[in-house]
Structure 1
Amino acid sequence: MNSNTQRFILWAIFGFSLIFLWDGWLKHTGQPSMFGPQTGQTQTQQGKAGTPPAAPGVGLSQPAVTGTASAATPGAANPAAPAATEFKGEVLTLANDVLKLSINTKGGVVERAELLQHKADRSLKENFVLLSNEPGKPYVAESGLLLAGSEVPTHLSAFTVVPGTPANVLSLTAEQGGLRLTRTYTLEPGSYSIKQRLTVENLRAEPVVPAVYSHLRRHGDKVSAGINDYFIHTFTGPAMYTEADKFQKIPFEDIAKGKASHSKSGNNGWVSMIQHYFVSAWVPPQGLERNYYADKDPNGLGYRIGYLANLPSVAPAGKVEHEAVLLIGPQDQQMLKKVAPGLDLVVDYSWLTVIAKPMYYLLLWLHGIFGNWGWAIIFLTVIIKAIFYFPMATAYKSMAKMKQVTPRMMALREKYGDDKMKLNQAMMELYKTEKINPLGGCLPILITIPVFLALYWVLLGSVEMRHAPWLLWVKDLSTPDPWYILPIVLAVTMWAQFKLNPTPPDPMQARILMIMQAVFAVMFLFFPSGLVLYYIVNNVLSIAQQWWIYRQLEKQGYKMR
């Protein structure tokens, strides 16, 4: 490899490092990532992005008849209904073996969700709470009805409990504006999916066409990783999916600025709030025409994402039902795929999905064999290393030959001094004589970079890694090593690899390589233990492979020492 090529590669690596650091700073300061997927999608309906539809009937198949849904924003407090807004409500509990819900009789709002199989932190003392109606930091699930010119049951209305339901069912009912709404929550054992059935009864003398809305309302604070925010960033905020526009993330910042862009209507898909490892989502019936909205709460209580749909016309004394699924739980891809199409995409691997998905499923398979995520990572590394054995062997042979001729390259540099043209000509002649490809040691290594990045996102985004121990002091593979033992071991392996590789003839290039080794060693202090474990095993296997190849070359007459 001639000096110009080496210099180009070094500066390219250095430049990419600066770009990634700058990207990390952008994400830390709340600005869009340079590499993340586009969050703005094509709008499928006229109207300002980030606001509810101008009228619930716009773009829907329901005709405009007497009693159609009003154009009011869902959930805006109405001064004409003081009883609904002053009612404090009673908090009821609905639980199974994995989920404990707190539901308020004021509006039937799900205002707290405790995940019984996931702990809040590494102390493993308290359960993780996803939804919580804390003052100033609300995160709740709300739904209700809208009807033009009428006050009907909403998420602000006073509900009463319907007695005589099974232990896994909670039914609440409210009557207002000539409509009776019965809200029934059903929670099956072992499930994070809550089935909500809304039964609307028409007590009027004329038919009505009410609309139903459901949304998630959350404060705008992001989930922080502390000092690791500079190196570890995951999306927190609203997200949705439609078959037409696929997965769409909607940053809080875009909503606040009135620049949010997303699908506006459809008859499929879902809406959600996502954060690192966890998700809540409303999944309306597939085939039902609905409008989507993502906006700031009209009462200034956070941000919302939801859907709004007209129900069929309800005759006097008649009734209609609307069923939807409210998911509250971990980002378990196997579970999410069963709930709704595309819901597993909340674990977002971006452009690396084509590599990351197979890697994730392979990791799951290995965990099923060994029962430990640390050993699964180790054997996954062995498999990946085996796949890349021959390309890496080619690279190591090329580097070995480069190491063999390094003294001659140094002599050429001393001979020609500053005459770059003659130096490059002499080096190219040397490469030709020794049958060395200057890029032979670089290209095979470059093709492994996407694999490394994909595994980074798999380990970062997999909730299975959260609080997953390996052995001894490594109690959580998703967080940095508390004793920094793994990063130190990694630094040693990086130094060993550096010594095995040929020394660049240019002293400046050698210094840059040494500095980069130190920079990467420091960066890995803050990386998840699982990723550091992968890199250690990869380096150890690389050193072993490189040593073996050097030994074989020595038998062929090469002097590698």
Structure 2
Amino acid sequence: MDTKRLILFVILSFSILMLWDGWQRQHLPADSGTESTQAQDASVPQVTNGQTPTAALDPNKENAALVQDSGFRLLPGKRVHVETDLFSAEIDTTGGDLRHLELLKHRASDTTDHNFVLMDDTAAPMTYVAQTGLIGTDLPTHKSVFTTAADSYQMEAGKDTLDVRFTWVGSNGVQVDKIYTFHRGDYAIDVNYQIHNGGSTPIEPWVYYQIVHDSQSNQGSKMMPTFTGGAYFTQADKYKKLPFKDMEKSNLSKNTPDGWVGIVQHYFVSAWIPEESKSREFYTKKLSENIYSIGSKGALDTVAPGASIEAKAKFYAGPQTHTDLEKTAPGLELTVDYGILKVIAFPLFWVLSHIEIVVHNWGVAIILLTVLIKLMFYPLSAKSYRSMAQMRELAPRLQRMKEQFGDDKQKMQQAMMELYKTEKINPMGGCLPILVQIPVFISLYWVLLGSVEMRHAPFMLWIHDLSAVDPYYVLPLLMGATMIIQTRLNPAPTDPVQAKVMMIMPIVFSVFFFFFPAGLVLYWLVNNLLSITQQWRINTVIKRETAAKKGNAVK
């Protein structure tokens, strides 16, 4: 009997403990710490560095819905359409997010019938939106719903600015106005917060600016992949790229008193540029599968009851045009990807753009710049081609020596060196001049590949877009023909295997050039034609000199 009572007591006690634990989970208040809040909604940044004002981590009534969010999603609201001379934009009343942005001066990549869509929240797989918000008790994040006076705004003729105001009023008497200011002829948009504390207690707001982007869209083609990912600039660290795979491994957390943070892709960039007087922390975060955020957050001044403050920032969203980037923010022009040789590439683009101003045709400007570069390197090229021409004249004698010595490589090498010494020829003389020119030509390659000015720029006849492939593959075929001619002008390798490789290379390169932009192929074609002309002329001179030597020897 005592044993039965003991068993019943244990079961009853265990049941009471289970019921107590369940009641606690249902009724005890949730932890208001940062980690818990972030688990509820990772897209809303939190205060860091140990600074936790009472307002920072407690969601208000309007944001209570965030507790129900288990992952990232864009909450739908009412769309407000904005039309300017450069943009056709859609801003959502939820958060005042910039959800859709068309660039009216740039056409779509695959067709000229539509405008280029830089930002969108409905295209698959692209997710690309700009968000801002305030962190603090009863302050609006990008999840909060704003109101606006109209459903559409249009920049009027004769006016240089257009203001689009969104308003939010909290239950504590705080009013927040978020104002987009668009400027005529400018891809930089002013985004200002006006915060008025109509309550009875001070508030300690933080402001954040972030861009949400997927990791799959705008990755270029398999033949010509391009970088799409995060980037930031500070005076201390200069320009840094942040691939999405790096964001997945670890979150960025960098404190800085200056700089900008954004997303770069081929030809285009978007960047948040907070006002210089405020310190900020740059951050990244993986929000969900293939979705990432990159942004800037920082503390604002305490707002006393009845007082007001402003938080100002710029948002650049547009092409990587040098003049626009340089005037917007320091270091923003570095988003134009010219590779590791940017020190050479930037001056080359400067020359190219000034030629275009004169001739009004980017294709013609490419041709003229290539001619200028060839003229600049003419002495070095001449030395190189002269060495190759001399080697070409020696080719029959080298072949006879090879037949004479057979497999005795040591005697063959000694005889070759003696011949070079007698004829005063340096077999490596053609290499160094070419090596000196390679960095310049590689830099020009990157200039033509990365300059948005080439995008949809016509040349002549069937070439309507220098950034696209030649639709009829005429330029690649001509390019292959010039490579074959160059191969025959060069001295033939004594090794039959090398000779076959040299004959196959023009065909292989031609296939690759089928997928290259027309502007790049045009540059290589013109360069080859100039090289052939110079090499043919030098070959002719050397042939005459050789014939003269033979004639004198006979006499």
TM range (shorter): 0.7 to 0.9
- Is 1:326 aligned with 2:318? no
Give me the whole-angstrom Cα distance separating, in 1, the residues matched to 2:310 and 2:370.
52
Alignment equivalent of 2:279, drawn from 273, 285, 289: 289
Give me the whole-angstrom Cα distance separating, in 2, the residues matched to 1:393 and 1:131.
51
Give me the whole-angstrom Cα distance separating, in 2, the residues matched to 1:86 and 1:351.
38
Residue 138 of structure 1 deviates from its aligned partner by 2.4
Residue 355 of structure 1 deviates from its aligned partner by 1.3
Query: Is the alpha carbon distance of 1:443 and 1:65 closer, same or farther for their aligned partners in structure 2, counting shifts above 3 Å?
Result: closer
Q: 1:199 maps to which residue?
A: 194
Q: Which deviates more from structure 2 when the two are superposed, residues 175-184 or residues 352-361?
A: 175-184
Alignment equivalent of 1:121, drawn from 104, 109, 115: 109
Query: Is the alpha carbon distance of 1:86 and 1:484 closer, same or farther for their aligned partners in structure 2, counting shifts above 3 Å?
Result: closer
Give me the whole-angstrom Cα distance separating, in 2, the residues matched to 1:424 and 1:222.
56
CA displacement, residues 110-142 of structure 1 (integer Å, 9 cap, x when unaligned): 111110000113531110111111166421111
1:42-81 mapped onto 2 (5 Å cutoff): 56-58=47-49, 67-70=54-57, 78-79=66-67
Q: 1:240 maps to which residue?
A: 232
Query: Is the alpha carbon distance of 1:557 and 1:356 closer, same or farther for their aligned partners in structure 2, counting shifts above 3 Å?
Result: same
Alignment equivalent of 1:255, drawn from 244, 247, 250: 247
Q: 2:483 maps to which residue?
A: 494
Residue 53 of structure 1 deviates from its aligned partner by 11
- Is 1:275 aligned with 2:272? no
Q: 1:13 maps to which residue?
A: none
Q: Which residue identity is paired with 1:501? A: N
Alignment equivalent of 1:220, drawn from 215, 218, 231: 215
1:15-414 mapped onto 2 (5 Å cutoff): 56-58=47-49, 67-70=54-57, 78-79=66-67, 88-121=76-109, 123-134=111-122, 137-147=126-136, 150-162=137-149, 167=155, 168-176=162-170, 178=172, 179-226=174-221, 229-230=222-223, 232-256=224-248, 258-259=249-250, 262=252, 264-297=254-287, 302-414=291-403
Q: Which residue identity is paired with 1:246? A: K
Residues 68 and 211, structure 1, Cα contact 8 Å, conserved in 2: no
TM-score using structure 1 length: 0.83
Residues 339 and 446, structure 2, Cα contact 8 Å, conserved in 1: no
Give me the whole-angstrom Cα distance separating, in 2, the residues matched to 1:342 and 1:138.
26
Residue 528 of structure 1 deviates from its aligned partner by 1.2
User: How many correspondences in the alignment?
Assistant: 494
Query: Is the alpha carbon distance of 1:131 and 1:318 closer, same or farther for their aligned partners in structure 2, counting shifts above 3 Å?
Result: same
Give me the whole-angstrom Cα distance separating, in 1, the residues matched to 2:494 and 2:333.
50
Q: Which residue identity is paired with 2:247? A: I
Query: Is the alpha carbon distance of 1:431 and 1:87 closer, same or farther for their aligned partners in structure 2, counting shifts above 3 Å?
Result: closer
Query: Is the alpha carbon distance of 1:65 and 1:404 closer, same or farther for their aligned partners in structure 2, counting shifts above 3 Å?
Result: closer
Query: Is the alpha carbon distance of 1:300 and 1:316 closer, same or farther for their aligned partners in structure 2, counting shifts above 3 Å?
Result: farther
TM-score using structure 2 length: 0.84
Q: Which residue identity is paired with 2:198? A: L
Residue 238 of structure 1 deviates from its aligned partner by 1.2
Residue 162 of structure 1 deviates from its aligned partner by 4.7
Q: Name the SS for the 1:526 alignment partner.
A: coil
Percent identical pairs in the alignment equals 43
Query: Is the alpha carbon distance of 1:183 and 1:439 closer, same or farther for their aligned partners in structure 2, counting shifts above 3 Å?
Result: same
Residue 177 of structure 1 deviates from its aligned partner by 5.2
Query: Is the alpha carbon distance of 1:313 and 1:559 closer, same or farther for their aligned partners in structure 2, counting shifts above 3 Å?
Result: farther
Residues 396 and 549, structure 1, Cα contact 8 Å, conserved in 2: yes
Q: Which residue identity is paired with 2:441? A: F
Give me the whole-angstrom Cα distance separating, in 2, the residues matched to 1:282 and 1:448.
39
Residues 404 and 558, structure 1, Cα contact 8 Å, conserved in 2: no
Q: Which residue identity is paired with 1:291? A: E
Q: 2:12 maps to which residue?
A: none
CA RMSD of aligned residues (A): 2.6
Q: Which residue identity is paired with 2:101? A: A
Give me the whole-angstrom Cα distance separating, in 1, the residues matched to 2:188 and 2:311.
16
Give me the whole-angstrom Cα distance separating, in 2, the residues matched to 1:139 and 1:166.
23
Residues 57 and 310, structure 1, Cα contact 8 Å, conserved in 2: no
Residues 169 and 175, structure 2, Cα contact 8 Å, conserved in 1: yes
Q: 2:474 maps to which residue?
A: 485
Query: Is the alpha carbon distance of 1:237 and 1:289 closer, same or farther for their aligned partners in structure 2, counting shifts above 3 Å?
Result: same
Q: Which residue identity is paired with 1:155? A: H
Q: Which protein shows a greater Rg?
A: 2
